Amino acid sequence: MLSVDVAAALGSTEIRARFATGSGVTALFGQSGSGKSTIVNMVAGLVRPRVGRIEIDGTVLFDSDARIDIPARKRHVGYVFQESRLFPHMSVARNLTYGQWAGRRTGSRDFDEVVRLLGLEDLLNRPPDTLSGGERQRVAIGRALLASPKVLLMDEPLASLDGARKAEILPYLERLRAEAGVPILYVSHALDEITRFADDLVVVSDGSVLAYGPIADVLGRIDLGPATGRHEAGAILEGVVRERDRAFDLTGVIVESERFFLPGLDAPLGTPVRLRVRARDVSLALEKPTAISIQNVIRAEVFEIGKPQGPYVELVLAVGAQRLRARVTTKSAAVLDLHRGKPVFALIKSVAIDRRSIGPVRSADEV
């Protein structure tokens, strides 16, 4: 477990962060310049807080009252930066083992296990300049893991990659989440990355933590719109793959008792998945429509209505025990007489659910 309660000055900005994480992946999300990287650097020991306390698994790394400040090299954290920072004169294999050598650590993690986890078997003898951006980042992750860290820090590791390279590395990050066995603090300002594999979300804005908790709960909050971005505002739903329509390349996912059809999702029946639905892609109706192209017509109930923002208003819908967000015009809300508890049908185009934001659900035995 990682516990952070710190404050520091960054130029004219006061950074204040207070949150606690468990196992799995905790994402620090916010716009550029919000203070995410500074928070991670305080955990790593690269930036000294003005006051506060940082603790990992019962070990105090920093405590201003007790005058404890463990040097970065002794904190047993693995750090993956935006750039891979591999040594160009070393092979992939030598880059992987460098962290163990430099930190004088006896690695508890097997070299072959990490190589398999990150799909590096065919890269070990190659120099870094022959690798793609995604391959270099996988090597950087492997190097950090082989240093046997108590926590893995990842600061925008996909920011320098194009769309194709991001698609290449995301499955490995999902595997890392499931198999690495070490807590991960992941910094990003891209929700499509975070919703694929993060378990918890910390929202950072103007140097302060506005909210933290399970990612579905935090993204379901309409009061965080200015910090999370209204254009990308949405919710995460969890379901199970129940059918395949191979003729039209559609997969049926059951969320609560409702069926979603998703395009291009090749997953075995019974696979738990989660998907992100943007609020702007949800329309509402009071009666179930017929003869329309929209495949997903979901029974829901109005759970919460936010304050109007100009011509728009945000709503939270209850789909069983889960939450879905919708953005409609204030005129539509008035015409439909929307209020808490009113039953509605949510209409969501299958093509609006981006394949990049569909990820696996963390199983109970991973917790």
- Find tokens 């990287």 and name the residue: 37
E strands, 267-354, where? 272-278, 282-285, 296-305, 312-319, 322-329, 343-348
Distances (CA, A) of 67 to 10, 77, 228: 21, 20, 36
CA atoms of 149 and 160, how far apart (whole Å) = 24
Asked whether residue 229 is assigned to any structural domain, the reply reads no
Asked whether residue 71 is assigned to any structural domain, the reply reads yes
Segment 161-181 shows an average pLDDT of 83
Q: Are residues 60 and 170 in the same domain?
A: yes
Q: Considering the chain, what percentage of its residues have pLDDT values greater than 70?
A: 92
Domain range holding 146?
A: 2-219
Note the residue count of the chain. 367
Which of 62-76, 103-117, 145-159, 185-199 comes out lowest in average pLDDT? Answer: 103-117
Query: What is the reported pTM?
Result: 0.85
Q: pLDDT (tens digit, 9 = 90+) per residue, 94-143?
A: 999 886 665 555 555 788 989 999 999 999 999 999 999 899 999 999 99
Which of 8-12, 48-52, 69-73, 141-145 comes out lowest in average pLDDT? Answer: 8-12
Examine the pLDDT at 34 and tell me if it is beyond 50. Answer: yes
- The count of domains in the chain is 2
Q: pLDDT (tens digit, 9 = 90+) per residue, 308-354?
A: 988 999 999 999 999 999 999 999 999 999 999 999 999 999 988 86
**CATH code: domain of residue 286:** 2.40.50.100
Q: Are residues 49 and 188 in the same domain?
A: yes
DSSP per residue, 95-136: HHHHHHHHTT---SS-HHHHHHHTT-GGGTTS-GGGS-HHHH
The last residue of a domain, from among 192, 219, 246: 219
**pLDDT top residue among 40 and 224:** 40
Q: Are residues 190 and 258 in the same domain?
A: no
Examine the pLDDT at 16 and tell me if it is beyond 80. Answer: yes
Examine the pLDDT at 367 and tell me if it is beyond 50. Answer: no
Q: pLDDT (tens digit, 9 = 90+) per residue, 252-281?
A: 999 999 999 998 788 889 999 988 899 999
Q: pLDDT (tens digit, 9 = 90+) per residue, 144-168?
A: 988 888 899 999 988 888 878 888 8
What pLDDT was estimated at residue 231?
A: 66
Q: Are residues 195 and 283 in the same domain?
A: no
